[in-house]
Amino acid sequence: MPNFEKLKTNAQKLVTPGKGILAADESLGTIGKRFDQIAVENNHDNRIAYRGLLFNCPSLENFISGVITFDETFRDEVDGKRLVQPLLDRDIQVWIKVDIGVKAINDLGETVTQGLDNLDVRMAEYAKMGATFAKWRGVLKIDIPKALPSEFAIEQNAQALARYAKICQDHGVVPIVEPEVLMDGDHTIEQAKKVTSRVITITYKALSDHGVYLPGTLLKPNMVRSGVDAGTEFDAQAIARFTVECLQESLPVAVPGVVFLSGGMSEAQATQALDAMNRLVAKKPWALSFSYGRALQASCLKAYLGKVKNVEIASKVLLDRAHLNSLATLGKYEASHENNPDALADLFQKNYSY
């Protein structure tokens, strides 16, 4: 029988006011694409060096409550010491991404996430190794003329997320539930809200049907915004209003927190939208925080360039970005805080996978 009180306490701890999550769970292929941007070879030593930069960043614990890792990273050791140990030593929770990617379920390009077959065995091992959280990403696409996402795709991804969440909790691990509706397309923000609300509603109904303890979960959704091909200017206030209204319509109040993904927005845009949500005067019974990968690492990686001499400045870039997102969780971010032009760089990748 899971320890429900511990699950609840751990979930609440992750969304401590002023703190959020660093997503460093890129697959081998995805980290290779990141390294290509700075002309660094994608080998094990270079991956360890870069992840070590992230995990040893001074004062990171002031703004980051948890870090999501990939299987390789979770197991890696340096000089007989776990690569993630600097995080654990500072009470930063370490997660593990447990899905193994998506597979097509129809000829419309819709997918369902794989990895359930041996998840019970893997989760037992991860829990024994100290994982207290796990993450599973479902991916859904909006295509209004084709009536996508289909009800079939929504339901299949919801059932996979629910089964994953139940297995996590059976092993004392808090599941992070990530049903991502991609920014790809030319849909309006109103259409995005309708789809995202439907996806979250069906997902949490599936969780409830599977007996998942909702206070021991966190939601990692997309923010509600128009598609990248809609020709609409970025509007943080509109994104905040539509996203909060979407959550009000779909997310149970028992869930302690929402840790948004950035979805391809620039670093500055992701921070601005989160800040706008936390400033919005509305009913928000959940903590609203961040779980950013590209929107925390892009400028840091550019400053690093794979060179030891750049570790100190790259660490400062990472910490500054984490600090700005910390302020956004409190509704205290100001555009005048931005002093890095790289934070405005477009990070969108079509049909993003990792």
Looking at residue 354, what is its pLDDT?
Answer: 47
CA-nearest of 214, 122, 103 to 167 is 122
Residue 69 bridge partners (DSSP): 24, 96
CA-nearest of 82, 180, 169, 69 to 119 is 169
Question: CA–CA distance from 11 to each of 3, 7, 89, 115 (Å)?
Answer: 13, 6, 19, 23
Looking at residue 1, what is its pLDDT?
Answer: 74
- Residue with the two structure tokens 């994104």: 239
DSSP structure string for 20-35: EEEEE---HHHHHHHH
**220 assigned to active site:** yes
Looking at residue 2, what is its pLDDT?
Answer: 82
Using pLDDT thresholds of 50, 70 and 90, give the confidence band for residue 350.
low
3 state SS of 127: helix
Looking at residue 264, what is its pLDDT?
Answer: 87
Measured in whole angstroms, the distance separating CA 249 from the mean position of its chain's CA atoms is 21
Tell me the residue length of the chain: 354
Q: Find the mean pLDDT for residues 286-293.
A: 98
Using pLDDT thresholds of 50, 70 and 90, give the confidence band for residue 341.
low
Question: CA–CA distance from 43 to each of 35, 75, 298, 354 (Å)?
Answer: 10, 16, 19, 17
The answer, yes or no, to whether residue 149 has pLDDT greater than 80, is yes
The answer, yes or no, to whether residue 344 has pLDDT greater than 80, is no
The answer, yes or no, to whether residue 348 has pLDDT greater than 50, is no
Render pLDDT for 24-62 as a digit per residue (tens, 0 to 9).
999 999 999 999 999 999 999 999 999 999 999 999 999
The residue annotated as part of the active site, out of 135, 166, 220, 267, is 220
Higher-scoring residue by pLDDT: 335, 168? 168
Render pLDDT for 78-122 as a digit per residue (tens, 0 to 9).
999 999 999 999 999 998 999 999 999 999 999 999 999 999 999
Q: Where does 47-132 show beta strands of DSSP type E?
A: 64-69, 77-78, 81-82, 93-97, 102-104, 111-113
The residue annotated as part of the active site, out of 8, 26, 166, 178, is 178
Measured in whole angstroms, the distance separating CA 16 from the mean position of its chain's CA atoms is 16
Q: What is the mean pLDDT of the chain?
A: 95
For the chain, the domains span 4-344
The answer, yes or no, to whether residue 353 has pLDDT greater than 70, is no
**103 assigned to active site:** no
CATH no. of 4-344: 3.20.20.70
